[in-house]
Structure formats: C-alpha cells, structure tokens
Amino acid sequence: MKKILYVVLDGLGGTPDPKLNGKTELEVANTPNMDRLAKKAKLGLMYPIGPNIAPESDAAVLSILGYDVDKYYTGRGPLEAHGADIEVRDGDLAWRANFATVDEETLKILDRRAGRNLSTEEAKALAEEVNQKVKLDDAEFIFKATVGHRGVLVIRSKKGKLSANVENIDPGYKRHGPYSIAIPNPPSEVQKCVPLDDSEEAKEAARLTNEFVMKAFEVLKNSEINKKRKAEGKKPANIILLRDAGDSLPKVPTLQELYGLNFGSIVEMPVERGIALLTGMKEVPIEDSTDYKLWAEKVLYALEHYDGVYAHLKGPDVPGHDGNYEKKIKSIEDIDSIFFETLLPKLDFSKVVMAVTADHATPCMLKSHSEDPVPLMIITDGITPDGLDYFGESACSKGSIGKIKGTELMPLLVKIAKG
C-alpha cells in the first residue's frame, strides 16, 4: 500500500475576482511547482462540506478528513480547547476567543483581532491577568491564549451542565444550528450572548458568558500591557470576543479504526491540532511554522514513520481575511517556491499518493470564507493524468475527479493508495 500525503493550504481557494480579471489568487500566483504537479495529476473541485456552505475551518477540516459534520460536529470551542490541551467535559462551555479592540466608552468594535500584532507573550500575560482577577458567580473557568489574537475559554458551572445553544458574542459570526456562519461586513457592536432555547442550561450559559466578557473587559481595559500598547501606538487588546460554543467534544472513530492507518499531523493552529488529536493522529511538532523548508523536511520525516501525513499550512487564509491580495498571492508563491520546491525532488510517487487542496476559500474580495468549491489535485504513479497544465480553479473544474464533497476525499485517497 502506498503512503498518503494530504496537503491542506488554508484558505487557498478563491472566487473569480474582477480585480484579478476574473481569475482567483491561486490562478494569478506564479506556481511552477504546483503547475508541474497538475500536469501529472487528476484534478477536481471539492465542496469542503457541501454546495452553498461557506464553512469555518473547523467543520471544513473535519469534513475533508472524512467525518460527516452533521453526525460529529459539536462546535469550534471544544476543538480549539482540545488543541490547547484544556479538558472539556460534557456540560462544560467551550468557546473560541479573539482578543479584540473596542472603544472603551461605547464598546464599539474597532478591530476584531486587536491589530493582528499581539505577541504571544502579551496575549499570555493578558490571559494570566484575566484568570487571576476575574471571578464568576457559581462557575470556574480557564481562559488560555493560543496563537496571536486567538484563545480559548472553558467555563464549568458549579450548578450543573451548561448548554452551548447560545448566540455568539463576536458579531463576525452568527449561530446557525451547531455551526456559525461568517458575516461579511459584520456589525461593530459587541453582541450579548443570548440563549437559543429556553432551557436553564442555555440561560445559565449565556449569563455566565456575559458576566465573563464584562468582567474581563474591566481587567483588560486597566492592564499595564494595554497601556503600554497604546503608548506604542498599538491597539489595546481590551475585549474578548467569543464564538462557536460547544458543550462536548466530538466522539469520532479514529483513522486507525476507520482505515487501519496511522497518521502523523503537522499543523500550526489549535483547532487543527484538536481535530488531528481526536482523529487519532500523532503530532509531528513544527517549531517554526513560518519556515516552509522545515515544513517540507517534517513531511518527509513523517512519511518515513506513518502510513499517512496530514499537513495543514495556514498561510493564504490570513491575508485572505485581511483582503490583502499581494500578501495572499505571495503566500501561495512562497509555498510553491519553498515548500514544494524542497519537497518534490524527494517525494517518490511510486510509494506516495499526494492530495493538494484547501479547507475552504478565503477570497480577498470577501475577507471571509466563501461557499466556492476548492481546487484539488491528486498525484501518484500509475494514474492517468488529466492533461491539464496548471493548478487553479478553472483548470480543476475540467478535471476528471469532477466535483466532490469533502467527506469523499479520504476514502478516495485510501482506495488509490491500496491500488
């Protein structure tokens, strides 16, 4: 059986953009290595979850790893918490958190990511102040800074289980059943958490969440760290926006149980780490996630030790969210000229089947995730290439894989790997 290499480029996908003459960022980027791969590949398009769904990274990744989100998804918070090594028991309330900036008089949101320049040291110190100084009535909590402006909050009530059926505080995402959907051009008011059913568990969850946000605001507003940030001309991280609550961890079969395969994972964000751990993958740490040469070396190392490797590079998503065309295109070109340039000469496609795709599209034009299908190519010796000559959405739309749903990809790769 061949080894499986599953490369996910976060937010790689785009949508035909008038500013790019109807092309996508991937199609405009100079990607000789990925184009060379495309010539040997079968191409297709993949709906991470399904048509007309603009997925968040968490649900998208679960789905493209082969897990039906309607069956397994329990919210982003628990996945982020698991990825941050925080215990989530059934009935805990786990939130994805953002350090953000508000006007301290009006609470109007000025920046959902506090300027995207919060250092991990600053975030950890702010989190420490919140953990020390905020006290909740009838509940305990852990608030943990993870990467940059991101964090996790887990609240455990002393009175009983909590329900995650509550609305987000973060106006950038609206609850839609167990999911949240991104709101392009969101309102700038901090939302009140409200119960989405009339259960006591949801009402108490909303009460505790609002209490936490306001008490943490008072602590952050007066923090010396934020006073220093202001003095340096930086935006204060003076509020914690919460979204995508969950009140239990997904109970999923591991990839070992499903396919008898041991996977290694190379990821950089807590949400993907949480998913990888839950699906039974062994973590291959990457010490510097900005070093694409190191990523390639870690992939080659992992291929020697596991049946499959899931490598999830964050790169293109961040500039997509910021609407920064130049940076998103540069991110794609760097992945091509460094990650793939280093990897491909050492990959033996007689022994490896590789998929290159994305977890979702983050078009600069929208500054958020879109429902566009993402480009997909599958390469290994012995398959009949489609004879297309570049890796991009329009070429992929002509590929022999056709349009598939995310849950179909892993079974397809296992089938090809088994020959």
Ligand X SMILES: O=C(O)[C@@H](CO)OP(=O)(O)O
Residues that bind ligand X (CB under 6 A): 57, 98, 113, 150, 317, 321
Q: Which residue is nearest to ligand X (CB)?
A: 57
At residue 252, the 3 state secondary structure works out as: coil
Q: How far is the CB of 113 from ligand X (least distance, A)?
A: 5
DSSP 142-205: EEEE-STTEEEEEEEESSS-----B--SSTTEEEETTEEEE-SS--SBPPPP-BSSS-HHHHHH
Pick between residue 102 and residue 377 the one whose CB is nearest to ligand X.
102
Q: How far is the CB of 251 from ligand X (least distance, A)?
A: 23
Q: How far is the CB of 353 from ligand X (least distance, A)?
A: 28
CA gap 338, 334 in Å, rounded:
6
From 98, 3, 84, 12, select the one nearest 48 (Cα to Cα).
12
Q: How far is the CB of 335 from ligand X (least distance, A)?
A: 17
- The token pair at 111 is 């920046």
Q: How far is the CB of 64 from ligand X (least distance, A)?
A: 15
Per this entry, what is the length of the chain? Answer: 419
Pick between residue 276 and residue 395 the one whose CB is nearest to ligand X.
276
Return the amino acid letter for 404.
Answer: I
From 408, 366, 349, select the one nearest 19 (Cα to Cα).
366
Pick between residue 55 and residue 399 the one whose CB is nearest to ligand X.
55
Pick between residue 150 and residue 156 the one whose CB is nearest to ligand X.
150
Pick between residue 98 and residue 226 the one whose CB is nearest to ligand X.
98
Pick between residue 85 and residue 257 the one whose CB is nearest to ligand X.
85
At residue 76, the 3 state secondary structure works out as: helix
Q: How far is the CB of 42 from ligand X (least distance, A)?
A: 29
Q: How far is CA 283 from CA 6, 27, 77, 125, 334, in A?
A: 14, 32, 20, 27, 24
Pick between residue 113 and residue 144 the one whose CB is nearest to ligand X.
113
CA gap 352, 416 in Å, rounded:
10
Q: How far is the CB of 18 from ligand X (least distance, A)?
A: 24
Radius of gyration of the chain (CA): 21
- The token pair at 244 is 């995508």
